Amino acid sequence: MKAPTMKAFKPKSLRAPRVDREGLEQAALLSEIQLKHPEAFALIYHVPNGGHRHIKVAMDLKKQGVVPGIPDLVLTMARGGYFGLYIEFKASPPNDAPVSPEQHKRLAALNAQGYLAIVCRGHFDAMEQLRAYLRLSPTVVAA
């Protein structure tokens, strides 16, 4: 019979769990849009491009069309001569992340195609930009 082996004691990490501040702020933004602008809420959606994934899942998503730099939120409501609004959402400073080169490139390409593509830093900035966009007159499509 074998004698039981003792494992070395490992203390738990004292690091605080990571907080997804960007995700929390974006969720708060969507809740406010739902309450105050239900017509916009019906036409806005989140593009889940970011986050860490298992390598196989990431490869499958890439095959399905996921590309880097796509903004986080899309409002499919035409206003002010634009076809729609794209928002690259970042957390409020000091918790904001820099805009990546891929994101800058994608925002410029979307703006060149007639969309309004912007970066918003935090819930309040995004809400102000959304309100300003919604105040614009509807885009008229000529037949």
Tokens standing for residue 82: 């634009």
Tell me how far apart the alpha carbons of residues 141 and 98 are, in angstroms, rounded to a whole number. 36
Tokens standing for residue 2: 């074998």
SS3 per-residue string spanning the chain: CCCCCCCCCCCCCCCCCCCCHHHHHHHHHHHHHHHHCHHHHCCEEECCCCCCCCHHHHHHHHHCCCCCCCCCEEECCCECCCCCEEEEEECCCCCCCCCCHHHHHHHHHHHHCCCEEEEEECHHHHHHHHHHHHHCCECCCCC
The pLDDT score that the predictor gives to residue 47 is 92
The pLDDT score that the predictor gives to residue 1 is 64
Amino acid identity, position 104: H
The pLDDT score that the predictor gives to residue 141 is 81
pTM: 0.84
The pLDDT score that the predictor gives to residue 83 is 97
Tell me how far apart the alpha carbons of residues 135 and 103 are, in angstroms, rounded to a whole number. 26
pLDDT in tens, the chain (143 residues): 676 677 777 777 778 778 889 999 999 999 999 999 999 999 999 998 866 777 887 788 788 888 889 999 999 999 999 999 999 999 999 988 999 999 999 999 999 999 999 999 999 999 999 999 999 999 998 87
Tell me how far apart the alpha carbons of residues 116 and 138 are, in angstroms, rounded to a whole number. 14
Tell me how far apart the alpha carbons of residues 133 and 121 are, in angstroms, rounded to a whole number. 16
Domains of the chain (ranges, CATH numbers): 21-135 (3.40.1350.10)
